[in-house]
């Protein structure tokens, strides 16, 4: 469903962490373009730079050097408040750990994302489609402890896209799931992409999970090895 519009543009991206007297080069000159409506899988071993790239693209950590544009906005030129606002407006996050608040129902876990984004009016009509697609409408009043791991991850996905972000960043979204639930969650991500045009960037170490994407980007030692 991509249409040539670039929503993520990365040029010569570098990230160096200073650990005592040692410089750790997590990213060593990464170039990447992602078009609207793409489902891109980023794969690589531990230490390849996948998660560092994820955190930079989400505005969670600044790069050491290079260019990062999200919808034409230069992340390095934005203030911390500016990056926070862009993150709220344009990016949804799904993590390996579901990060649901245990004292809240599934519905309230989703609603809190709207509150944080200061969107307290009517929900985007698309969200009703999302609830049907994810198959969790009948579980919305249950707290996380009453939900299976697969259901918790579906709630986490709903929370990530309730504000209709243009980009969904998923970091090992099936890492805590068994094979059956992994396939369900990956199928749902693919449906969100194909039916609703959601742009998805997914980090995974699992080749079978990566195959759900349109494009596979392989990383090693802080560089893109091939696509």
Residue 198 DSSP one-character state: -
**Residue 129: per-residue pLDDT:** 78
State the Cα torsion 140-145-146-150 to the nearest 10°. 70
**Residue 26: per-residue pLDDT:** 94
**Residue 170: per-residue pLDDT:** 95
Residue 199 lies in a domain: yes
Burial 140-151, CB ≥16 within 10 A → b, else e: bebebeebebbb
pLDDT in 10s for each residue of the chain, 227 residues: 556 899 999 999 999 999 888 999 999 999 999 999 999 999 998 889 999 999 999 998 899 999 999 988 999 898 888 888 888 888 999 988 888 999 999 999 988 887 776 665 556 677 777 788 888 888 999 999 999 999 999 999 999 988 888 999 999 999 889 999 899 999 999 999 998 899 999 999 889 999 999 999 999 999 999 87
Residue 141 lies in a domain: yes
Residue 178 lies in a domain: yes
Residue 219 lies in a domain: yes
CATH of the domain at 132: 3.40.50.300
**What is the number of structural domains in the chain?**
1
Residue 17 lies in a domain: no
Compute the distance between CA of residue 9 and CA of residue 5 in angstroms, rounded to an integer.
10
Compute the distance between CA of residue 189 and CA of residue 173 in angstroms, rounded to an integer.
10
Compute the distance between CA of residue 13 and CA of residue 187 in angstroms, rounded to an integer.
31
Asked if 216 and 210 count as a contact pair (C-beta separation under 8 A), the reply is: yes
Bridge partners (DSSP) listed for residue 200: 39, 168
pTM higher than the cut 0.85? yes
Residue 3 lies in a domain: no
Supply the range of the domain harboring residue 195.
38-59+90-226
Residue 202 DSSP one-character state: E
**Residue 11: per-residue pLDDT:** 97
**Residue 120: per-residue pLDDT:** 58
Residue 30 lies in a domain: no
């Amino acid at each position: 469903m991509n249409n040539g519009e670039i929503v993520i543009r990365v040029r010569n991206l570098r990230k160096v962490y200073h650990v005592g007297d040692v410089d750790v080069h997590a990213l060593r000159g990464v170039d990447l373009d992602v078009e609207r409506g793409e489902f891109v899988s980023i794969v690589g071993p531990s230490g390849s730079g996948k998660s560092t790239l994820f955190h930079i693209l989400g505005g969670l950590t600044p790069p050491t050097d290079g260019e990062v544009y999200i919808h034409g906005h230069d992340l390095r030129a934005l203030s911390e408040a500016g990056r926070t606002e862009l993150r709220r407006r344009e990016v949804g996050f799904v993590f390996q750990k579901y990060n649901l608040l245990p004292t809240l129902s599934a519905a309230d876990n989703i609603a809190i994302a709207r509150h944080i984004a200061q969107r307290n009016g009517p929900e985007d009509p698309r969200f009703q489609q999302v609830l049907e697609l994810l198959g969790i409408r009948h579980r919305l009043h249950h707290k996380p402890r009453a939900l299976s791991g697969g259901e918790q991850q579906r709630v986490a996905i709903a929370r990530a896209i309730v504000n209709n972000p243009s980009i969904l960043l998923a970091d090992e979204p099936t890492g805590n799931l068994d094979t059956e639930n992994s396939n369900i969650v990956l199928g749902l991500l693919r449906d969100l992409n194909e039916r609703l045009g959601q742009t998805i960037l997914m980090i995974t170490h699992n080749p079978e999970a990566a195959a759900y994407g349109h494009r596979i980007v392989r990383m090693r030692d802080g560089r893109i090895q091939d696509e």
